[in-house]
Amino acid sequence: MSKLSVDLKKIISHSKEYGYIFPSSEIYDGLSACYDYGPFGVELKRNIKDYWWRSMVKSRLDVVGLDSSIFMHPGIWKASGHVDAFNDPLIDNKDSKKRYRADQLIESYIEKLNSKIEKEVKKAHKRFGDKFDKDQFLQTSVRAQDYLNTITKTTKLMNQYLIEEDYGSLKKLIEEIGIVCPVSGTKNWTDIRKFNLMFSTKIGSVADQATDLYLRPETAQGIFVNFLNVQKTARMKVPFGIAQIGKAFRNEIIARQFIFRMREFEQMEMQFFVRPGEEMKWFDYWKKERIKWHKKIGFSENVLKFHDHENLAHYANAATDIEFKYPFGFKELEGIHSRTDFDLRSHEKHTNKKLQYFDSELGESYTPYVIETSIGLDRMFLAVLCQSYTEELVKENTRIVLKIPPILAPIKVAILPLLKKDNLPEKSKDIYNKLNNFFSCYYEEKDSIGKRYRRQDALGTPFCVTVDHETLDNNSVTLRNRDTMDQVRISIDDLIIQLNNKLSF
């Protein structure tokens, strides 16, 4: 059995064919960067949310939950800095009329240079064989050094111009390094403009009296403005956290790569309130906790990495991303930010209301500092799909199997009568009714048993229970394992205990 390599296109079409994800408004030719989750997708999504909620809220004494509204007072977005600073630098190519994010154009250019270095390394490795020393090669190869210097210089300038919002220099940088439009192949660029990513709408029935509102671009602000409500009613003592799962909306200029960058998406965010001066200790703590969470469901070391930020957001004094190796490269899956006391202080200033905490141990009041963990549910969903999607050669046929961690799988057990006669369906339905009280089950009698196994493999169902004539004689069934395809014969009476052992952490 050998695993074949996988690309994003296959995952997209598999998701559609097996009821995980459909393009939004498909019969109207779709709506860019919006997606609908089908019958199996919605279950996987719920299981990811449950896994997060259980480890971030239910299993901890120091974190409580919240569900704040999507519409909030527009002043909140002024105070948070989103009205003034939540912008992307936008540039158009005059020939192709295609629109790009200026920073992403430069990042693609840097990625290309990195691939060129990798090519040089591969060539040299082939030439020198076992004696090859990569570090030594990178230090001595003139060409590799050239690429590395360009990458360092370009990254530094880009970050500087982005922080200073010096878009004239940013455009000059694009021209100097010779970036061409991938569609027209020309360097005929417009000036760079600021583009605010928030969607706006209106509240009220009469247009004149309407108030401008924004669809929230992050769930975090709902937590900040409820800080005292939650702290007082749940009797929380600093350090403590508030967690929330909910929709967020961003008018992304370029929304590509399937559900990686959407205009409507879900976030799972937690703000952890700490004493001023203790934020770095807690930042390190949450980095470790969050990477543990990813590894616990089976993400391996080589698909995860930290990426520390140089270009910090307006509210942060430290930030790192947990990146996942998607088919299109390592990209941000989760952000961990030390947000200082920026948000609480800013809301205090804009409302003239105190958002302070009296620390009885210290005998003083202060505005807490905040460590935030923020993960995109849809990006986590995509990471699970990418990690799970497997093509294997089995006896010269390709078997497609979603090796979803059992705890997250939409269906845990499929109950399959071997034949559609001889009382086997009735017996199978009895077993279905019994098991379905404990696990999410599926019953299917159409098609040959081989075809049904393949379909369950493609859906990611970790176990199939097959009911045959022997079942009627001695009350035993076969239990088939999705990943190994092994089958064992076990008594129906032992099924629940056996499955429970395999389906819990």
Binding site for ligand GAP (CB under 6 A): 218, 220, 250, 252, 261-262, 265, 267, 269, 332-335, 372, 374-376, 378-379
The three-state DSSP-derived secondary structure of 299-368 is CCHHHEEEEECCCCCCCCCEEEEEEEEECCEEEEEEEEEEEECHHHHHHHHHHCCCCCEEECCCCEEECC
Cβ 459 to ligand GAP shortest distance, Å? 24
Cβ 374 to ligand GAP shortest distance, Å? 4
Cβ 225 to ligand GAP shortest distance, Å? 14
Nearer to ligand GAP, 23 or 138 (CB): 23
| Distance (Å, whole) CA 268 – CA 334 | 9
Nearer to ligand GAP, 134 or 256 (CB): 256
Residue with tokens 């009698």: 445
Nearer to ligand GAP, 379 or 427 (CB): 379
Nearer to ligand GAP, 108 or 149 (CB): 108
| CB-based contact 250:263 (threshold 8 Å) | yes
Cβ 218 to ligand GAP shortest distance, Å? 4
In sign, the C-alpha dihedral spanning 403, 404, 409, 412 is positive
Measured CA distances, 103 to 192, 212, 389 (Å): 10, 30, 31
Cβ 82 to ligand GAP shortest distance, Å? 10
Nearer to ligand GAP, 173 or 259 (CB): 259
H/E element, 37: strand 35-37
Cβ 192 to ligand GAP shortest distance, Å? 20
Cβ 52 to ligand GAP shortest distance, Å? 12
Exposed e or buried b for every residue in 81-117, given b needs 16+ CB within 10 A?
ebbeebebbbbbbeeeeeebbbbebbeebbeebeeeb
Nearer to ligand GAP, 30 or 204 (CB): 30
Cβ 248 to ligand GAP shortest distance, Å? 7
Cβ 76 to ligand GAP shortest distance, Å? 13
* ∠ Cα 57 366 86 (to 5°): 65
**Residue showing the smallest CB distance to ligand GAP in the complex:** 376
Nearer to ligand GAP, 262 or 495 (CB): 262
Strands 63-65 and 240-249: parallel
Residue with tokens 């989103």: 82
Q: Which long-range contacts (CB under 8 A, 24 or more apart) does 106-113 make?
A: 106/154, 106/158, 106/173, 106/174, 106/177, 106/179, 109/154, 109/177, 109/179, 110/151, 110/154, 110/155, 111/329, 113/147, 113/150, 113/151
| Distance (Å, whole) CA 491 – CA 181 | 64
Nearer to ligand GAP, 376 or 406 (CB): 376
| CB-based contact 272:239 (threshold 8 Å) | yes
| CB-based contact 408:48 (threshold 8 Å) | yes
3-state secondary structure of 373: strand
Cβ 261 to ligand GAP shortest distance, Å? 4
Q: Peptide bond before 276: cis, by omega within 30 degrees of 0?
A: no
Nearer to ligand GAP, 120 or 252 (CB): 252
Measured CA distances, 6 to 3, 169, 386, 419 (Å): 9, 40, 8, 35
Cβ 141 to ligand GAP shortest distance, Å? 35
Nearer to ligand GAP, 25 or 233 (CB): 25
Type of residue numbered 84: D
Nearer to ligand GAP, 220 or 355 (CB): 220
Cβ 315 to ligand GAP shortest distance, Å? 9
Nearer to ligand GAP, 250 or 275 (CB): 250
* Count of CB atoms situated within 10 Å of the CB of 410: 24
| CB-based contact 75:348 (threshold 8 Å) | no
Nearer to ligand GAP, 384 or 495 (CB): 384
Cβ 157 to ligand GAP shortest distance, Å? 23
